[in-house]
Structure 1
Amino acid sequence: MASVSATDLKGMTQEERVKALGMTTDQLTGRSMYIEFDPDATERFAYPWAPDVDFNKRTELDCDEMTATEVNANIRSLMEEGFGSIVVKNPRGMHSLGVGILNKLNLIIEGSTGYFAVGLIDGPNVRINGRVGWSCGENMMSGTVIVEKNAGSTFGAAIRGGDLVCRGSVGSRTGIDMKGGTIIVGGDTGALSGFMMQRGRMVVCGNAGKNLGDSMYDGTIYIGGDIQSLGVDAVEAELTDLDKAWLTRKLTQYGLMPENGVDHFTKVVAGKQLWNYDNLEPNEKKLIL
């Protein structure tokens, strides 16, 4: 790439500076796409060692006198016994509750949880009838998680699949490093939501804080209210009929469809001007930001 001086870039628009620095002309290398699951497969939708559970077989687990480690161990033991519906009572804001569940399961948590609730999960359907702390659903692979009240910061950090839903409002950095799946927020979200987002969809029915989608690589963010500010390389895009159809279907599914429809939503995507940021010289990086 030819050297570009600060004098040459003076007076150029942001888009012109990006092109002059080779940010949009150099194609990424080493990027590959692969199919993780065979769409024609008719079996083996679960891990080979996963216990066979019956959703009609229901039990309750009172964790009032337990540690988080004991609660999680009991959940696994109950699944080994074939219980497919487990109700956890008296969580009392316990941290790391319901983490690492790699199995089909209906898990109902009656109360509020602390940090890192139901992280590292692959398959269960979870309903939390209270609030959650930081990083709920972190690194979630598949399944559904529905939080009935509010959530803390980094809601859905590094999520890879499934639906993560909060009916209330969430804190800052929602969907940070998001790699797939869907995050839906019924209320507002804080600053730096969608930071370094790579794939997936985020839907916020309310307002968004500062620096929405900062440094996002790919993916889509839909905001139903006001956006305080967009982050670096986050740009507005046209809300298509396909977007509206998907939003209508998804929000209706979770009872979060606005009375005035979805036409007012703002669509935010990556401007893709930072895709080759690492290839720039230090002085060029300063010029592009």
Structure 2
Amino acid sequence: MAEIARGEIDAQELRARDLGLHDERLKGRSIQKFFDIDLDAPSHGFALPNAFDVDFNKRAEIEASNMPAQQVNLRVRELMADGYGTIVIKNPGAKHSIAVGILNRLNLIIEGSLGYFGCGLLDGPNVRISGRVGWSCAENMMSGTVFIEKNAGSQFGAAIRGGDLVCKGNVGSRTGIDMKGGTIIVGGDTGAFTGFMMQRGRMVICRNAGKNLGDSMYDGTIYIGGEPASLGVDAVWGEMTDFDRAWLARKLKMYDLLPKGGVDHFRKIVGGKQLWNYDNLEPTEKKLVL
């Protein structure tokens, strides 16, 4: 029985490696309780202790054309406190910092475009935006989904830690900078330094990328269907596996972004790991890496 159990563990480790998952051991690190794990709770567990109990069938609308961003965000919280689980923000007028800091289950529909820092610090909501978004959309997102119908600005998904962040159109430079987890999907092109200092997670670029793709990436995986202008420091081509292709096909199909020809043309970029021990390299070796 011990041999069988060990064989199952080995198989799981191999599968995790093929999927590009990190195998860092967390032994000895402190664990802090952030979530209510009472499965009998109205939130069905794994929700923040102060989360509102909302009903997705209960719908409300906010006419934001003449409201400042702070008032819009306050109104969203008031409606969640009243149990509204579906909220529509109409005519946001590209205001900055709309729909930030929502730590709750919520179906949020934004009819229009957002300015800078929209949907930042999210943990739980599902957001759909019919227009465009400015710089740093979904910065530090923890969980949930954000789906943008049009284009996005630079630093899209900066320091994202979880959830799915999807843009059907093109995005600017430094997409996924300092990415620590989750998934970023770009239906069009992305700008220079995409994936800069990436640490964890997966990024999918359906078309082309600008210069220095994956520059200084520590870990994680980038999939690209087109061509990068160039790869960045310590970014190297990886080998596509059946697991990669299956994951890509499933994920892109979820958001209606699966190419007609499938995903066989996608390629994989990973960290070369030459910078992991950069301080220990000799001067001549540092020149070779850079």
Gaps of 5+ in 2: 1-23
Q: How many angstroms apart in 2 are the aligned matches of 1:287 and 1:95?
A: 43
Corresponding position: 1:32 with 2:32: no
Q: Which residue identity does 1:180 align to in structure 2?
A: G
In the alignment, the residues of structure 2 paired with residue 226 and residue 211 of structure 1 have an alpha-carbon distance, to the nearest angstrom, of 12
1:195-216 superposed Cα distances (whole Å, 9 cap, x missing partner): 0000000001010110000000
Within 1, Cα distance between the matches of 2:271 and 2:26?
Answer: 19
Task: Indicate the larger mover: 226-235 or 276-285.
Answer: 276-285
Shift of 1:32: 3.2
Equivalent residues in 2 for 1:261-280, closer than 5 Å: 261-280=262-281
1:130 and 2:131 correspond:
yes
**C-alpha distance after superposition, 1:85-144 (max 9, x if no partner):** 000011010100000000000000000000010000000000000000000010000000
Q: Tell me the distance in 1 between the aligned counterparts of 2:71 and 2:284.
A: 53
What is the one-letter code of the residue matched to 2:238?
Answer: A
In structure 2, the CA distance between the partners of 1:131 and 1:44, relative to structure 1 (3 Å rule), is same
Is the partner of 2:73 in helix, strand or coil? helix
Taking structure 2 as the reference length, what is the TM-score of the superposition?
0.85
Give the 3 Å change call, closer, same or farther, for CA 90–233 of structure 1 in structure 2.
Answer: same
Partner amino acid for 1:32? L
Q: Which residue of 1 aligns with 2:197?
A: 196
Other-structure match for 1:143: 144
Q: Distance in 2 between matches of 1:44 and 1:280?
A: 47
- Counterparts of residues 88-99 of structure 1 (less than 5 Å): 88-99=89-100
Contact 2:233 2:289 in 1 (8 A): no
Q: In the TM superposition, what is the alpha-carbon distance from 1:283 to its structure 2 partner?
A: 6.9
Aligned equivalents of 2:248 and 2:135: distance in 1? 26
Between the aligned partners of 2:63 and 2:135, the Cα distance in structure 1 is 23
Number of residue equivalences: 259
Q: Give the superposition deviation at 1:287.
A: 4.9
> Which one-letter code corresponds to 2:129 in the other structure?
I
Q: Does the C-alpha gap of structure 1 residues 278 and 41 become closer, same or farther in structure 2, counting only changes over 3 Å?
A: farther
Tell me how far apart the structure 2 counterparts of residues 167 and 223 of structure 1 sit (CA, whole Å).
Answer: 15
Give per-residue Cα distances to partners, 1:127-178, cap 9 Å, x unaligned.
Answer: 0000000000100000000000000001000000000000001000000000
Return the alpha-carbon distance in structure 1 between the equivalents of residues 214 and 185 of structure 2: 15
What is the TM-score when the length of structure 1 is the normalising length?
0.85
Q: Which residue of 2 aligns with 1:62?
A: 63
- Report whether the alignment pairs 1:181 with 2:182: yes
Instruction: For residue 267 of structure 1, give the secondary structure of its aligned residue in structure 2.
Output: strand
Please tell me whether Structure 1 or Structure 2 has the larger radius of gyration of its CA atoms.
1
**What is the 5 A alignment of 1:223-238?**
223-238=224-239
Query: Shift in Å at residue 45 of structure 1?
Result: 1.4
| Matched AA of 2:191 | G
Find the aligned partners of 1:287 and 1:265 in 2 and give their Cα distance. 28
Percent identity, please: 71
Residue 160 of structure 1 pairs with residue 161 of structure 2:
yes
Alpha-carbon distance in 1 for matches of 2:280, 2:75: 50
Q: Secondary structure at the match of 1:242?
A: helix
Question: What CA distance in whole angstroms lies between the structure 1 residues aligned with 2:244 and 2:186?
Answer: 17
**CA distance in 2: counterparts of 1:87 and 1:194, whole angstroms:** 32
Deviation at 1:36, TM superposition (A): 8.6
What is the aligned partner in structure 2 of residue 71 from structure 1? 72
Distance, in Å, in 1 between the alignment partners of 2:237 and 2:283 is: 28
What is the CA–CA distance in structure 2 between the aligned matches of 1:278 and 1:160, rounded to whole Å?
A: 27
Q: Secondary structure at the match of 2:182?
A: strand
- Whether the aligned pair in 1 keeps the contact of 2:69 and 2:95 (CA below 8 Å) is yes
Residue 54 (structure 2) pairs with residue 53 (structure 1): yes
What is the distance in 1 between the residues matched to 2:170 and 2:191?
A: 9
Shift of 1:279: 3.5
Counterpart of 1:246 in 2: which secondary structure? helix
Worse-matched range after superposition: 247-256 or 61-70: 61-70
Aligned to 2:86: 85
Distance in structure 2 (CA, Å) of the matches to 1:126 and 1:203: 19
